[in-house]
A and B are shown apart, each in its own frame.
Chain A
Amino acid sequence: MPDKVRGTFVSQKINKVRWKPEDLSYSSYFVTGSWDDQVNTLMLWSNPRPDDDPDQLTVKTASLNFSGDVTELLFIDDKRFIASSSHGFAKLFEIEFLDLGKALFKELIVWDKLHEFSYENCCPCTGLACFEEDIATIGEDGRIALLTARQKNPLRKIDKADSCSLHCVCFLKYNEVLTGNIRGHMKVWDLKSQSNKPATTFMMSGDQIAASCVTFHPTQRHMLLVGGDDGSLTVWDMRHNTFPVTVLSAHAESVSELKFHPDRPEHLFSCSADGDVWHWNTSTMSRGTRFSSSSDMSIDENPWLSSDAAKHRIEVLSTMPKLHKPVNSLDVNHSRLICSSDNEAVYVINDVIP
């Protein structure tokens, strides 16, 4: 492994890894959630920046047993995060720091039985999305549950939102949620409407490919990127959503997560089940367009929405040597990327963007 990649073996397969956000500063803590083990755990790790500590040791500072696989982890502010479980519940935690560099997870709210089957008790909650304190969870039962971090009772449950298992979810606006199912069937839900029917539906492709993950452009929320189970990347412009703008055949196997750099949206990161972590750099392309169209912010300002993307002109770099097991999750904060894999290791990569 090259110098800028630091691997730590953590003795559990990590399904989700997230930097703990810091106000106006760099993150030096991250949270991991494991899956598939006899006893799964949530763990908090400290990992100082190389400037602060050249050794950059990853140290476990907190750990908590978790029932079921951790299927999603999301921070809603710099202390509180939500974790969803394959046992059908979600929990809101707060990180509390103690003396001697130790910390603990404080359980604030438990939303039990968000997802359930009619004949079996345990139905996995497959994902969740947040818009400030509003939360939407999805499950294999095809239900959408709407919660708020302020109360224990769910705001609303949309039963049979989908007849198949839902696999990815995101907020398009404060009142719009998008879900994708195991057949790549995408639905947009208007939360203001009381009917249990989606506002719009469209297919990712005709080939029954599951939508494995979804993300939106940080500054242009109408631009949507969907990762497929076949490794493809589909770009949608939600202002006219019936057909994708671009379909890129990207990874060789299922795309497990997609993430735009929060502050510098010209950088996108993706990871896949065949062990790759890729960095998609569109800064060179967007600069070109910016000069040509000088002042006005045209629609095609976003290189992902221009047809250039289809011509594979986006610069794609591999951020670390290919791993031999699926990479499940990644997160990026300032210049540092973190990713986790089924080989029971977590890798911190320094200086991923210049």
Chain B
Amino acid sequence: MTVPMDKITFVIPDLLSRNATIGAKWCPGNKLGVFFGATPKEEKRCNIHGPTKVHQVCQEVILFNPISRKLINEANGVFLALQNVTSEESNPCGRRAELLKLSRWYRSIIQACLENLQDAAKNEENEKDTYLNLVTVCYNIEFIWHLCEILFIDVIPGGVVLPQFLEWIKFHFFQPERKAIALINTLYGSQNQDDEPETHPDYWNTVTQLVLQGRLDLAKSLLSLHSKSYSEPIKRLEYMLKTMPFYRVYGGLSVTEFNIKWKCWQNECIKHLEDGLYSSDKNLELIVMLLAGDNRGFQQIQELCETWYQYMAAVLLYTEPTVKCFDLSFHANRCINQLGLADTLKSLDVILLALFDSDLLEAIKLIGEGIENGWFAAHLTDLLYHCGCVSLVDNQQINLTAEMREQLLLDYASMLMSHSSLWQVGVSYLDHCPTLGREYLEVILPTLPLTSEKRALKILQVAQSRDMPETVCSICKVLGMRSFKQNRLGNALAWALRSQDSGFATYLADRFLERYSRDGKFDSTDLLENLGSCMVLSDRLTFLGKYCEFHQLYRRGDFQEAANLLVSLMVSRLAPKYFWLTLLMDALPLLESNEIVLSSEDTYELLDCLERLTLGGTSRTKSLVDTLELNKHVKASDVDSEDLLRDKVDLIRLALGRNLARSLIHEACNIPDQDQKMEKDF
């Protein structure tokens, strides 16, 4: 039996929508981009004009409500604690106890959330329906979870399940208890001789319901208010209620021993019934019939049970108190048939039936179709998976537990990742998906919007700690490119350095040099002068760093050092060719300085560079333009100053020549030194 998925139809408000075809495409973050398109012919025919819009359609996630959001975050803490328990605890007994604790922790979170929701439903009138809807969802979750805990986690040795089963019923159907207490309070208050409490409209129903739930102490208290409570039949009944044996796992009795004791007690009830002790009072007779496990009694109380599982609990309590787990399915189906509900089962009923049937696969499938966006299915399956005793087996008897758990976690995590703020929670679920979690993360992380550097750093940190160099690189690149587009070369370079992206660093270094050639001054000197060891990332960046150093030296008046650096930059061919002319121009003041800072050898090297530049092409003019074509910005600004360029080259050549002469003379004057040096060499 399956419950069909709800189909939702809604209209997107768009002028085009009435006359056009609809198209859609998935966007990152569980969104659907919907657009309408009409062919030009249709547009003309229907006379529609208007802008084409793309509508973002996304599923409404009820979990993102501020109150239920606490559920997400608190449960995330428990989920992570659970993963730790299973990796640490080796002793299966201790582990089971630990898991039970965690299961209760989950339930207490749901209950706390339920309380908050109920308060909110009371206080906020305009959102009342939303909250009431959420209350129902949370209530059902807790209800099913509790049953799962009883059936699969808190398993009692021997498999006698009824005591816990009754607890479950009592916990969730507390109305008889409340009614009884209210009745006792009012009846005690107004007690006078003429009053007959049993005539109160709720009296007998409440007593019977209490008996059905096995709350015999309360039932007794109510009976003692009866105006004829001193009479023999009621005294007897009270005695029977007092002496009814309850099975307790650690009560010291074996199941067989208990059964004998219980049979004795029930036989006595049957005897009383057969004696006709209660035939005068229908109400009393009904109660004794129930105690005696008489079928006629159960037929009468069907009306009093809101649900089939309450009925089932009552029937089991008085006919088969030591029922085993695996028999529950049979009893459940029988009860449903007796009540004639087989055709009107709701999805909750079907889930419960599947659970009694130990068909977890089906149960989880059904739970997954609920409207709580996968929270419940994912957490419950994970818990059951870690319990280890349950295996979900499909038709071909293949164990699907791990796969199913992972799929549910993946779905839940991707739903969280679509929220602007809960992506971090999503990450911690993906971390615990052994097969596909990493792939999901690798796909989703780069799609998260990088609204600020702070957020980007957090996303980067997630990627870094999970050892995803490619993701790190791509995020840094996005941030770098964004800075670049904002004209912030310095910050762009900082991101390139962070991700050790040498290609990008080279590109940026080129842009720095271009700007320098254009404006005559450097952007972001604070960064460039403090590159340190980072400059080795790319050759171009090294050159840029060294070139800044050259300027620093020059400004400081350290001409000798500056000249040496300049020559070494040229000789080592670290400088890009398009920048040679700038370097040679920078050399001009050094060549013309009073002190000789460039030796003849240095001058030859520079001359060599100049020749290479100017003789590269066939004609001198063309070559110069070619040189400059490498540097597009300069070309753009100086496009018609071919003459200026020629002047520059001539100027450099002249300076080189003069310096060569000076340095040769200077070196020649210092022959003794050189002789000594030559002697040393020999």
> In the complex, A345 Cα to B455 Cα: how many Å?
18
Q: For residue A165, which residues in chain B have a CB less than 8 angstroms away from its CB?
A: 453, 491, 494
B366 interfacial contact with A, CB 8 Å: no
A12 interfacial contact with B, CB 8 Å: yes
Residue of A nearest to B500 (CB): A208
Assess the B74–A9 pair: CB atoms within 8 A: yes
Q: For residue A325, which residues in chain B have a CB less than 8 angstroms away from its CB?
A: 424-425, 428
Assess the B534–A208 pair: CB atoms within 8 A: yes
Binding-face segment, A93-101, A114-122, A220-228 = A114-122
Per DSSP, are chain A's interface residues mostly helix, strand or loop, or mixed? loop
Binding-face segment, B15-23, B520-528, B551-559, B674-682 = B520-528
Please, what's the 1-or-0 string for A45-69, where 1 marks a CB less than 8 Å from any CB in chain B?
0000000000000000000000001
Per the 8 Å Cβ criterion, residues 167-222 of B in contact with A are: none
Assess the B457–A206 pair: CB atoms within 8 A: no
Q: For residue B70, which residues in chain A have a CB less than 8 angstroms away from its CB?
A: 9, 11, 344
> In the complex, A36 Cα to B448 Cα: how many Å?
12
Assess the B526–A324 pair: CB atoms within 8 A: no
Q: For residue B455, which residues in chain A have a CB less than 8 angstroms away from its CB?
A: 35-36, 69
Per the 8 Å Cβ criterion, residues 467-523 of B in contact with A are: 485-491, 494, 497-498, 523
Min CB distance A109 to B, Å, is: 23
Per the 8 Å Cβ criterion, residues 94-148 of A in contact with B are: 117-120, 124, 126, 140-142
Q: For residue B77, which residues in chain A have a CB less than 8 angstroms away from its CB?
A: 324, 343
Total contacts A-B at CB 8 Å: 117
Q: For residue B67, which residues in chain A have a CB less than 8 angstroms away from its CB?
A: 11
> In the complex, A164 Cα to B524 Cα: how many Å?
8
Q: For residue B80, which residues in chain A have a CB less than 8 angstroms away from its CB?
A: 324
Q: For residue B229, which residues in chain A have a CB less than 8 angstroms away from its CB?
A: none
Q: For residue A140, which residues in chain B have a CB less than 8 angstroms away from its CB?
A: 452-453, 491
> In the complex, A143 Cα to B120 Cα: how many Å?
45
Q: Interface size on B (CB < 8 Å)?
A: 42
Min CB distance B512 to A, Å, is: 11
> In the complex, A140 Cα to B73 Cα: how many Å?
31
B407 interfacial contact with A, CB 8 Å: no
Min CB distance A125 to B, Å, is: 10
> In the complex, A301 Cα to B486 Cα: how many Å?
48
Assess the B465–A253 pair: CB atoms within 8 A: yes
A13 interfacial contact with B, CB 8 Å: yes
Per the 8 Å Cβ criterion, residues 161-210 of A in contact with B are: 162-165, 167, 181-183, 185, 187, 201, 203, 206, 208, 210
Q: For residue A124, which residues in chain B have a CB less than 8 angstroms away from its CB?
A: 452-454
Assess the A273–B421 pair: CB atoms within 8 A: no
A71 interfacial contact with B, CB 8 Å: yes
Contacts A11-B70, A208-B498: A86 and B452 contacting too (C-beta < 8 A)?
Answer: yes
Query: Which of the four size classes fits the interface of chain A?
Result: 35 or more
Query: Which of A163, A208, A253 lies in contact with B497, CB distance below 8 A?
Result: A208
B243 interfacial contact with A, CB 8 Å: no
Query: Which of B458, B489, B530 lies in contact with A185, CB distance below 8 A?
Result: B530
Q: For residue B452, which residues in chain A have a CB less than 8 angstroms away from its CB?
A: 69, 86, 124, 126, 140
Assess the A326–B458 pair: CB atoms within 8 A: yes
B319 interfacial contact with A, CB 8 Å: no
Assess the B69–A344 pair: CB atoms within 8 A: yes
> In the complex, A162 Cα to B465 Cα: how many Å?
29
Min CB distance B480 to A, Å, is: 11
A292 interfacial contact with B, CB 8 Å: no
Assess the A343–B73 pair: CB atoms within 8 A: yes
> In the complex, A71 Cα to B455 Cα: how many Å?
11
Assess the B420–A38 pair: CB atoms within 8 A: yes
Q: For residue A344, which residues in chain B have a CB less than 8 angstroms away from its CB?
A: 69-70, 73
A254 interfacial contact with B, CB 8 Å: yes
Assess the A38–B457 pair: CB atoms within 8 A: no
Interface centre among A37, A141, A165 (most CB of B within 10 A): A165
Assess the B532–A203 pair: CB atoms within 8 A: yes
Assess the B454–A69 pair: CB atoms within 8 A: yes
Q: For residue B344, which residues in chain A have a CB less than 8 angstroms away from its CB?
A: none
Per the 8 Å Cβ criterion, residues 519-553 of B in contact with A are: 523-527, 530, 532-534
Residue of B nearest to A229 (CB): B457
Assess the B454–A119 pair: CB atoms within 8 A: no
> In the complex, A182 Cα to B524 Cα: how many Å?
14
Min CB distance B462 to A, Å, is: 10
Contacts A124-B454, A140-B453: A253 and B461 contacting too (C-beta < 8 A)?
Answer: yes
Residue of B nearest to A344 (CB): B73
B76 interfacial contact with A, CB 8 Å: yes
B451 interfacial contact with A, CB 8 Å: yes
> In the complex, A142 Cα to B487 Cα: how many Å?
12
Contacts A124-B453, A203-B530: A182 and B491 contacting too (C-beta < 8 A)?
Answer: yes
A–B pairs, 27, beta carbons within 8 Å: A11-B66, A11-B69, A36-B420, A38-B420, A124-B452, A142-B488, A162-B526, A163-B488, A163-B523, A163-B524, A163-B525, A163-B526, A163-B527, A183-B497, A185-B527, A187-B526, A201-B526, A203-B530, A324-B77, A324-B80, A325-B424, A326-B424, A342-B424, A343-B77, A343-B425, A344-B69, A344-B73
| A-binding residues in B (CB < 8 A) | 66-67, 69-70, 73-74, 76-77, 80, 420-421, 424-425, 428, 451-455, 457-458, 461, 465, 485-491, 494, 497-498, 523-527, 530, 532-534
Given contacts A69-B454, A182-B491, 16 further A-B contacts (CB under 8 A): A11-B66, A35-B455, A36-B455, A37-B420, A69-B452, A86-B452, A117-B488, A140-B452, A163-B527, A164-B527, A167-B453, A182-B453, A206-B533, A324-B428, A343-B425, A344-B69
7 nearest A-B residue pairs (beta carbon) = A163-B490, A163-B524, A9-B70, A11-B66, A124-B452, A36-B421, A37-B421
